[in-house]
Amino acid sequence: MRLATTILAICVAAGPALAVPSTCTRDADRTAFDTAALKSELMVTALVCKQQDSYNAFIHTYQPAVVGEEKDLAAYFKRAYGRQYQKAYDDYISNLANVQSDEGLKMGTAFCETYTTMFDEVLSLHSATELADYAHSKALVQPVSFQTCAEMPAKPGRSHGKSKKKRTA
127 touches 139 (CB < 8 A): no
Give the model's pLDDT for residue 148: 72
One-letter amino acid for residue 59 of the chain: I
Contact between residue 53 and residue 42 where contact means Cβ atoms under 8 Å apart: no
The burial of 107, by beta-carbon neighbours within 10 Å (0-12 exposed, 13-18 middle, 19 or more buried), is given as: middle
pLDDT computed for residue 27 by the predictor = 79
Per-residue pLDDT of the chain (169 residues; tens, 9 = 90+): 443 433 443 444 444 444 455 567 787 888 999 999 999 999 999 999 999 999 999 999 999 999 999 999 999 999 989 999 999 999 999 999 999 998 888 898 899 999 999 999 999 999 999 999 999 999 887 877 767 776 545 555 444 444 344 444 4
Which residues are CB-contacts of 67 (< 8 A; sequence separation ≥ 6)?
none
Please state whether the predicted TM-score (pTM) of the whole model is above 0.85: no
| Euclidean distance between CA atoms 48 and 44, whole angstroms | 6
Q: How far apart are CA 41 and CA 118, in angstroms?
A: 9
Q: Say if CB 28 and CB 132 are below 8 A apart.
A: no
**Ordered alpha helix ranges (H), 82-127:** 85-107, 110-115, 117-123
